[in-house]
């Protein structure tokens, strides 16, 4: 009975076959839709993976050379097939051939106790292949500035971060270059992701989508843009107000993500008020959707969104973060909790990321109390929401002002009441 239940190593060969079949399925799907005749489809890629698995299994008993010989023979076969296609005058890319060299290695990884990594790499490989039109379209739509920003993001992530020391020093011993730069990458990455999504999906998908994606880049900048457009096109005020609300909605989950990354226990206090404000904002979006204009075609105007990531931007945020970190720590040292709250309110006028990350980091190191950090974050969120109301009031049309004031008045009331209840009851 025990031998019947022993599925080792059969499940490994099956897993290798499935990984190869997944990649081969994508290749064969493309062939059927484009009528391109590649040298390999679902069956061939499945066998490629099985070849790698069998070679790796034999190598465990007889050394690595059987696997090496099998892999070299397969590489020569792929090379010969590629040369044959060129000789016949076919315009050939090399993507399928490269993938054919990867798949046997994935099959071998399953045998060599790296099943999770092999499965993940197999899915990623299939996804990259399937995203060919999207990636090519993205590359065509990139400008020189976009390319430079992308390379700079790679620079601040893969080059600068490993070089920074991971220790505390400076005033009040609160400056840790490695952790600060890691948070810079987090915030920059959120904005960069939003920008990439706008580039992929386009900004002509309506104000709602643009509001959501613009909120990832900068909800304040999106509010300024939509408020100004409402004055130029008063008939679109209701639709543009919905875009402003959607952009601002992104702030609440963004704050929770930042807190969760830095100091997860803080979420136990701030999550309820933030979720309550998010629900209230989404309720306002729903009400505006119910009364939206019948013709939204006019709202599908192209809104240019500049790339939010530059190396200078990252440096500026790092400097601002360090300043806020020191100010909050000094305020707590010399003025107590009131100083922290004042610093939170002042910085929250323009941005919530820096104060959120600063007080979360200070709470993590035990330099301020957990409840003080929670109040500071909620205060910054409320002040930032109020600032967006002021922007809409100053730049927007009469209807947009009225709409934003009513809905955000309810959102602010919800945040204040839920925050007081949570802090008072010690939930």
Query: What value does the mean pLDDT of the chain take?
Result: 77
2 in a structural domain? no
Domain extent at residue 319: 144-425
284 in a structural domain? yes
272 and 306 belong to one structural domain: yes
Residue at a domain's end among 66, 97, 130: 130
Cα 5 off chain centre by: 43
Residue 50 CA to residue 104 CA, distance in Å, equals: 7
Dihedral (CA of 325, 330, 333, 337) sign: negative
107 and 247 belong to one structural domain: no
- Mean pLDDT to the nearest integer, 66-85: 83
Q: Tens digits of per-residue pLDDT, 259-272? A: 888 888 888 888 88
265 and 386 belong to one structural domain: yes
Which residue is it, tokens 């963004």? 254
- Per-residue model confidence (pLDDT) at position 142: 72
- Per-residue model confidence (pLDDT) at position 18: 92
Work out the pLDDT band at 96, boundaries 50, 70, 90: confident
For residue 96, with 0-12 CB atoms within 10 Å meaning exposed, 13-18 middle and 19 or more buried, which class applies?
Answer: buried
Q: Which of 18-32, 96-110, 171-185 has the lowest mean pLDDT?
A: 171-185
174 and 211 belong to one structural domain: yes
* Structure-block tokens of residue 91: 């315009």
- pLDDT over threshold 80, residue 31: no
The candidate with the shortest Cα–Cα distance to 309, out of 205, 202, 185, is 185
- pLDDT over threshold 60, residue 196: yes
Q: Which residue has the higher pLDDT, 368 or 39?
A: 368
- Per-residue model confidence (pLDDT) at position 302: 46
121 and 150 belong to one structural domain: no
CA within 13 Å, CB half, 17 = 7
- pLDDT over threshold 70, residue 410: yes
- Per-residue model confidence (pLDDT) at position 106: 92
Percent of the chain at pLDDT above 90? 3
- Per-residue model confidence (pLDDT) at position 398: 84
171 and 289 belong to one structural domain: yes
* 150 touches 283 (CB < 8 A): no
44 and 117 belong to one structural domain: yes
Q: Which residue has the higher pLDDT, 176 or 11?
A: 11
- pLDDT over threshold 60, residue 276: yes
For residue 35, with 0-12 CB atoms within 10 Å meaning exposed, 13-18 middle and 19 or more buried, which class applies?
Answer: exposed
Dihedral (CA of 363, 368, 371, 374) sign: negative
- Mean pLDDT to the nearest integer, 279-307: 63
- Mean pLDDT to the nearest integer, 76-95: 74
53 and 174 belong to one structural domain: no
- Per-residue model confidence (pLDDT) at position 90: 62
- pLDDT over threshold 50, residue 295: no
The candidate with the shortest Cα–Cα distance to 355, out of 246, 422, 244, 262, is 262
154 and 103 belong to one structural domain: no
- Per-residue model confidence (pLDDT) at position 188: 67
Q: Which residue has the higher pLDDT, 298 or 189?
A: 189
DSSP 159-226: IIHHHS--S-BSGGG-B-HHHHHHHHHHHHHHHHHHHHHHHHH-S-S-HHHHHHHHHHHHHHHHHHHH
Q: Tens digits of per-residue pLDDT, 230-250? A: 776 677 677 778 878 888 888
- Per-residue model confidence (pLDDT) at position 105: 92
Q: For the chain, what is the domain count?
A: 2
Cα 340 off chain centre by: 30
273 and 401 belong to one structural domain: yes
Residue at a domain's end among 107, 130, 153: 130
169: which strand partners?
175
- pLDDT over threshold 50, residue 56: yes
* 43 touches 16 (CB < 8 A): no
* 164 touches 177 (CB < 8 A): yes
- Per-residue model confidence (pLDDT) at position 293: 45
- Per-residue model confidence (pLDDT) at position 93: 66
135 in a structural domain? no
- pLDDT over threshold 60, residue 47: yes
Residue 217 CA to residue 149 CA, distance in Å, equals: 14
Work out the pLDDT band at 200, boundaries 50, 70, 90: low
- pLDDT over threshold 50, residue 160: yes
50 in a structural domain? yes
* 240 touches 296 (CB < 8 A): no
138 in a structural domain? no
41 in a structural domain? yes
103 and 154 belong to one structural domain: no
- Mean pLDDT to the nearest integer, 132-137: 75
Q: Which residue has the higher pLDDT, 27 or 142?
A: 27
Residue 147 CA to residue 394 CA, distance in Å, equals: 36
Residue at a domain's end among 130, 155, 179: 130
- Per-residue model confidence (pLDDT) at position 314: 62
Work out the pLDDT band at 217, boundaries 50, 70, 90: low
137 in a structural domain? no
139 in a structural domain? no
94 and 201 belong to one structural domain: no
Which residue is it, tokens 């205060």? 379
- Mean pLDDT to the nearest integer, 277-292: 81
- Per-residue model confidence (pLDDT) at position 204: 44
Q: Tens digits of per-residue pLDDT, 297-337? A: 444 444 455 555 556 666 666 776 677 667 766 766 777 77
- pLDDT over threshold 50, residue 296: no
Q: Which residue has the higher pLDDT, 6 or 63?
A: 63
Select the highest-mean-pLDDT range: 95-99, 140-144, 375-379, 423-427.
375-379
- pLDDT over threshold 60, residue 2: no
């Amino acid at each position: 009975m025990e031998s019947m239940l022993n599925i080792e190593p059969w499940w490994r060969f099956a897993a290798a076959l499935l990984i190869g079949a997944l990649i081969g399925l994508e290749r064969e799907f493309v062939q059927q839709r484009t009528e391109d005749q590649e040298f390999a489809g679902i069956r061939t890629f499945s066998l490629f993976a099985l070849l790698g698995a069998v070679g790796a299994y034999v190598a465990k008993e007889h050394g690595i050379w059987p696997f090496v010989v099998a892999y070299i023979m397969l590489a020569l076969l792929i090379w010969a097939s590629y040369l044959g296609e060129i000789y016949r005058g076919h315009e050939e890319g090399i993507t399928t051939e490269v993938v054919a060299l990867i798949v046997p290695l994935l099959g071998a990884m399953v045998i060599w106790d790296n099943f999770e990594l092999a499965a993940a790499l197999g899915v990623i490989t299939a996804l990259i292949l399937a995203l060919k039109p999207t990636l090519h379209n993205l590359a065509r739509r990139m400008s020189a500035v976009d390319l430079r920003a992308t390379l700079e993001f790679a620079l601040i992530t893969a080059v600068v971060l490993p070089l920074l020391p991971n220790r505390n020093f400076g005033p009040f011993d609160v400056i840790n270059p490695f952790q600060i730069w890691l948070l810079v990458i987090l915030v920059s990455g959120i904005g960069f992701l939003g920008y990439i999504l706008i580039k992929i999906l386009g900004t002509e998908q309506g104000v709602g989508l643009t509001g959501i994606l613009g909120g990832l880049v900068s909800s304040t900048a999106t509010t300024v843009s939509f408020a100004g457009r409402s004055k130029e096109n008063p008939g679109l005020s209701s639709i543009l107000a919905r875009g402003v609300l959607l952009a601002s909605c992104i702030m609440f989950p963004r704050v929770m993500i930042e807190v969760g990354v830095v100091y997860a226990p803080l979420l136990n206090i701030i999550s309820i008020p933030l979720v309550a404000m998010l629900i209230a904002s989404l309720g306002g979006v729903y009400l505006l959707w119910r009364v939206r204009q019948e013709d939204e075609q006019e709202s599908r105007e192209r809104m240019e969104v500049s790339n939010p990531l530059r190396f200078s931007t990252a440096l500026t945020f790092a400097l601002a973060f360090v300043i806020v970190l020191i100010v909050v720590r000094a305020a707590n040292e010399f003025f107590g909790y009131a100083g922290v709250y004042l610093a939170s309110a002042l910085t929250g006028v323009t941005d919530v990321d820096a104060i959120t990350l600063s007080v979360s980091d200070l709470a993590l190191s035990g330099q301020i109390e957990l409840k003080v950090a929670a109040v500071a974050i909620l205060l910054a969120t409320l002040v930032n929401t109020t600032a967006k109301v002021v922007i809409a009031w100053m730049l927007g049309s009469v209807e947009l002002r009225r709409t934003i004031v009513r809905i955000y008045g309810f959102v602010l009331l919800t945040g204040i009441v839920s925050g007081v209840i949570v802090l008072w009851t010690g939930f």
